């Protein structure tokens, strides 16, 4: 699963964009709402945060990459993970 922090890092590295975390969180929430209104199971979910804090938005790597036309392997490389990103 990708969280807003992961998405910000990928966008900054691959696209040269600096997108505020609040903007990414807003977009993930909007994606979740669009899926609900369309009667689909939402790709974006809220997962509990370890330690202090509440829940945060998360999206599967493949769903996010498909929505942006990106290669999942390239995103994994940016995040420094050799294995599949999983919850």
Q: Where are the domains of the chain?
A: 2-79
Band of pLDDT at residue 15, cut at 50, 70 and 90: confident
Top-confidence residue, 42 or 53? 42
37: Cβ contacts below 8 Å, ≥ 6 apart: none
Q: What mean pLDDT comes out for the span 55-71?
A: 93
Rounded to whole angstroms, the Cα distance separating 14 from 48 reads: 28
Q: Do 6 and 79 touch, CB atoms closer than 8 A?
A: yes
Q: Give residue-wise pLDDT tens across range 71-87.
A: 999 999 888 854 445 44
Q: Are 87 and 56 in contact (CB under 8 A)?
A: no
Q: Could you tell me the CA-to-CA distances from 21 to 26, 27, 41, 82 in Å, in that order?
A: 9, 10, 24, 25
């Amino acid at each position: 699963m990708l969280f807003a922090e992961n998405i910000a890092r990928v966008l900054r590295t691959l696209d040269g964009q600096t997108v505020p975390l609040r903007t990414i969180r807003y977009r993930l929430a909007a994606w979740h709402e669009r899926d609900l209104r369309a009667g689909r199971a939402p790709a974006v979910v809220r997962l509990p945060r370890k330690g202090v804090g509440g829940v945060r938005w998360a999206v599967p790597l493949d769903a996010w990459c498909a929505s942006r036309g990106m290669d999942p392997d390239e995103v994994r490389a940016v995040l420094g993970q050799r294995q599949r990103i999983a919850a």
